[in-house]
Structure formats: structure tokens, C-alpha cells
Structure 1
Amino acid sequence: MATKEECRAALERLSDSMGRSEGDVRAATNLDRSVSCHITDLDLTFVGRMTGGRIVVHDTVEGPPREKAQIRLAMSGDDLVALVDGGLNFAHAWGSGRVKLKASLSDLFQLRKLL
């Protein structure tokens, strides 16, 4: 099982990758939205903001997110690490229910460019 620190590091790697993106992917990462990522097996949530082409984590809270972020993810820590490291396909994980993503329809259309 991935640790809190491994999950935080995975989110940092994802943010770094987003910051280096170009073209359509860069446009998709340029959203300015509140973000939460609930790590189900650790029962903790990383809370932050997607802004300037990066994800900035502001806080880590115990349990599910206390406030409803504009973009909400939920998954196990191992799945987060595997997604960021390329060992798990996002579309497959989302379709099978391993990863949950909730956002407005317009945000989902933008975020699909990241897949």
C-alpha cells in the first residue's frame, strides 16, 4: 500500500509533468479549478488548486474532502502512483471504477485531452 508521502510525491510528479506539457495538453492543464484527490485506502484527501498548468497541493486532510472541489478524484494510493508512473491507463481505470473523477461537463471535455 502506497504511503501518504508516496502519494504526495506522485502528485508532485504529475504537476511537474503537466507543467512541461505543450499544445492541446497544455491548454487542458491551464484550467484554474479547485482540486481534491481522496486516497481511499489511506482515508485522506489532498486539497489544492489546478492553476498555471500545475497542481498545487495546499493541505492534506483526514477522511473525504470537507468541501466540494470543482475537480474531484478518488482512488487508492497504489492506483495514484501507478497512474502517474504510467503503469495504469487512466481511461481503463476510470471505466472500471478504480478511479472516480467528478467535474463539470466542460471541465471533463478539457481534461480528456490529458488522457
Structure 2
Amino acid sequence: IDEKEKEIKDFKKEVKKAKKAFKDTNAAKDKIILNRKKKRLAQLEDQLRKLEVQATDKEENKQIALGTSKLNYLDPRISVAWCKKWDVPIEKIYNKTQREKFLWAIEMAGPDFRF
């Protein structure tokens, strides 16, 4: 995040220089360069926002044991039915050991399973 903020700060200086060049010459070439730099600055700021969100999510999820919840509190038939309904591979939800443990649910639940 710090590196991205530094990159944005440096790039803002470049945008300022491009604005000044365009203002001085008023040339079409300088306008194109200025627009490209503005777009790139917007991309960098968007990347920074994404990094900040990822950092926040990572920090907040440290307290949550997602694997435990999935194994102990969710009926595997619901997860399997959802996977089958939306064509999501079950391997994305359960690892090999869990698939062996919940084989009964995989065989039982179809895409129209109602709990």
C-alpha cells in the first residue's frame, strides 16, 4: 500500500507537468498525453483502493474460522445442491478429505434439493 501511495504521488507530479505542457502549448499531442496520464492515475488510485480493501478483509477475517463453520454448522447437502445448481465444481468448496466425509451428501443432493 505504501509503495502504491508513493507511486500515485510521483504520478500526480507527472500529471501536473503534462497539464502545464498542455496549457503552455495547447497542442493536440499534449492533450492526448494528458488524458492518458489522467486515465493511468485513475487506474493507480483504483488499485490502491483494492489493496486497502484486501488488507481490511484480511485483517477482519483473521478472527473467523471459515473452515470450522463450513464443516460444523452448514448442512453439506445445501452446499452441494448450490454447487450443482450453479455448475460450480465441488472441489472449489470442499477439499478431498471433506469430499470423502460428505460423499453421502454429494450423492444425495441434486440441484433441486430443498432443505
Which protein is bigger by CA-based radius of gyration? 2
TM-score tier after normalising by the smaller chain length = under 0.3
TM-score, normalised to structure 2's length?
Answer: 0.27
Tell me which protein shows more strand as a share of its residues.
1
Q: Which has the higher helix share?
A: 2
Larger RCO, structures 1/2 (Cα 8 Å, 6+ apart): 1
- TM-score, structure 1 as length reference: 0.27
